[in-house]
Structure 1
Amino acid sequence: MTDKSKVFVYPEDVSAFGFDWGRLALTVAPEVNGAERFSGGVVDLPSGQGHTRHNHPGAEEIIFVISGHGEQMVEDEQGDPVVAKVGPGCTIYVPESRFHSTLNTGDQPMQLFVVYSPAGPELVLRELPDFRLVPAAKD
């Protein structure tokens, strides 16, 4: 029997990673529902905010823009930054270990859904100096 509380997960159902630039609520991860090959969740970026240039060694990432508008940077094979304006419906593929960044350039919040494969690179975010754990709304 499948535990539906682990299969159908809303961002407010789980603790979130809070930062000065926004938050990440992991809705799919080994520690949330036993996912083994990937993890993912919802990122909320307030207007004018974003996450700085970083990479996930050994992992690929998919970023899907749910709402809002911004600028997405993904480095190319030579390490040169490629920047594009992104909005709702845009899917961004970040190849393994490639540096990337996202900035909300709109006047409304920006919401993304991100997927990491394999699972785990998002856990290093806990080591950032501005990290704080935001309790689930339904705790």
Structure 2
Amino acid sequence: MNETFFVYPETVDRFAFDWGHLSITCGPKVTGAGTFSAGVVHVPPGEGHARHNHPGSEEIIYVLEGEGEQMVEDMQGNPVTETVRAGCTIFVPESRFHSTLNTGDRPMKLFVVYSPAGPEEVLRELPDFRLVPPPHG
């Protein structure tokens, strides 16, 4: 694989779901990154992804635009929910369940990082997964 240093979300495959979409902009298959992956998530108003976890991986979620409710389980497995908006960084410890719901009137745009890489590939197994290739111009 060639080294790739600069990637825009519109130049890579889009992982589309009923609740929104994810564009992996950094990771083993896109840039050759070896220890983490990252991407941009879009969640339309009123939508959100269900409670899930990433076994063996930590996640960072940074809210770029919009606002919503973010849930992350604590060490005892209790849900901790907070209203988040642009500028908030959310840390999801390894294997913890979490969910995001856009409660605003405009799309939420998130930047996510997984360490180690891999959780993004498991998303391909979800029943509502659709791969949307980048537009060719």
Q: Does 1:83 align with 2:107?
A: no
> For residue 122 of structure 1, what is the amino acid of its counterpart?
E
> For residue 137 of structure 1, what is the amino acid of its counterpart?
P
Q: Corresponding residue for 1:73? A: 71
Tell me by how many angstroms 1:29 deviates.
0.8
Q: Does 1:14 align with 2:12?
A: yes
**Mapped partners of 1:91, 1:109: distance in 2:** 17
- TM-score, reference length from structure 2: 0.96
**Mapped partners of 1:73, 1:31: distance in 2:** 29
SS of residue paired to 2:29:
helix
**Mapped partners of 1:104, 1:40: distance in 2:** 20
- How much identity, in percent, do the aligned residues show? 68
| Conserved? CA contact 1:46–1:108, under 8 Å | yes
Q: 4+ residue runs of structure 1 moved beyond 6 angstroms? A: none
Structure 2 gaps, min length 5? none
**Mapped partners of 1:16, 1:28: distance in 2:** 13
SS of residue paired to 2:30:
helix
Q: Which moved more, 1:128-137 or 1:55-64?
A: 128-137
Tell me by how many angstroms 1:122 deviates.
1.3
Q: Corresponding residue for 1:137? A: 135
